[in-house]
Amino acid sequence: MDPTDPHTAAQALKAGGLVLMPTETVYGLAADAANPRAVAAVYEAKGRPSFNPLISHVADVGMARRIARFDPRAEALTARFWPGPLTLVLPAADTAAVCDLARAGLDTVAVRAPAHPLARALLQAFGGPVVAPSANRSGRPSPTTFAAALEETGYAAAAALDGGPCEVGLESTVVALLDEARLLRPGAVTRAEIEAVIGPLAEAEADARRSPGRLARHYAPDLPVRLDAAAPAAGEAFLAFGPAPETARTFNLSPSGDLKEAAANLFAMLRAADRSGASAIAVAPIPHEGLGEAINDRLKRAAGFVG
């Protein structure tokens, strides 16, 4: 198929097939949210525990209202950040539109309108909500290029859309608006940006079922990961941040110390370091401000520490 044709890919979704879908954050493995068989195939392709609910992707706020109940906070956040890398967990409106399996049996639904033009074209052509977890196999770094997406779960996809490298490179921010507004997953939209719209965010609850994606070892390369390293030890690859000597196994997330650039490079460089022939991956300290919160969240999980 033509890997830039959203209509063929929408047909594949309608037929119950899976589609590799580029988004501005990471590539997703997409399926018709209403089709439990297709959703089961997503879990199977990823090797994901089936208690982990999926995000429903929509073309616009109108489509979101068919599946989720909006309150004034949801109105304000979507007006400011959609289309874009913000996922809201809301009470489910019509529980049939997103099957039970996609919601992992919860009466809530995670919804986001991605900004990538090819994702938007696919969602418009399909005409309904599409679930899409990151297209990696469970526990591995999310794919941020078409090649990495094909390598992870391409074998299970009926169609694949090539949207080029992902501009953001980190998954969407997940905010639950059930009682208090809670940050379930730090991401591309920063805590400060959200708080500027709806006020202070409560912390995610320790209850893992509220945010099952927050597993201890997640986003992980095969090699061990050592954080806050001033410099690599012998045999280690190095993920640098800021000025650093160039060596064969140094991957500089951002030589100028720019967090946005570092986020965009993070998963691709973790993959490259993993393949460099090193014995482990050392990672330079990343400042914990702005996007740094999300980068450090992913790095902690790549290293196997609970956040």
According to CB under 6 A, which one of 78, 134, 252, 265 is a site residue for ligand TXA? 134
122 vs 239, beta carbon nearer ligand TXA: 122
Q: Which is nearer to ligand TXA, 171 or 236 (CB)?
A: 171
The yes or no reply on residue 23 touching ligand TXA (CB under 6 A) is yes
**What is the strand order of the sheet 19-21 is part of?**
159-160, 19-21, 28-32, 130-131, 55-57, 108-112, 86-91, 173-177, 181-185, 202-203
Residue 44, φ and ψ in degrees, nearest 5: -65, -45
Each residue 182-201 as x (binds ligand TXA by CB under 6 A) or -, in order, gives --xx----------------
Name the residue nearer to Mg ion (CB basis): 134 or 265.
134
Contact call for residue 134 and Mg ion (CB under 5 A): yes
Amino acid at 248: A
Determine the 3-state secondary structure of 153 from DSSP: helix
Assess 294 for contact with ligand TXA (CB under 6 A): no
Q: Which of residues 38-97 bind ligand TXA (CB under 6 A)?
A: 52-55, 85, 87, 89
23 binds, among Mg ion, ligand TXA, none (CB under 5 to 8 A by kind): ligand TXA
Q: Which residues are CB-neighbours of 125 under 8 A, at least 6 positions away?
A: 6, 7, 9, 10
Residue 92 DSSP class: B
Please select the residue that binds ligand TXA; options are 41, 88, 106, 264, rule is CB under 6 A: 106
Q: Which amino acid is at 195?
A: E
Q: How many residues bind ligand TXA (CB under 6 A)?
A: 29
CA distance 298 to 292: 10
Tell me whether residue 134 or residue 190 sits nearer to Mg ion (CB atom).
134
What is the contact surface with Mg ion in residues (CB under 5 A)? 134
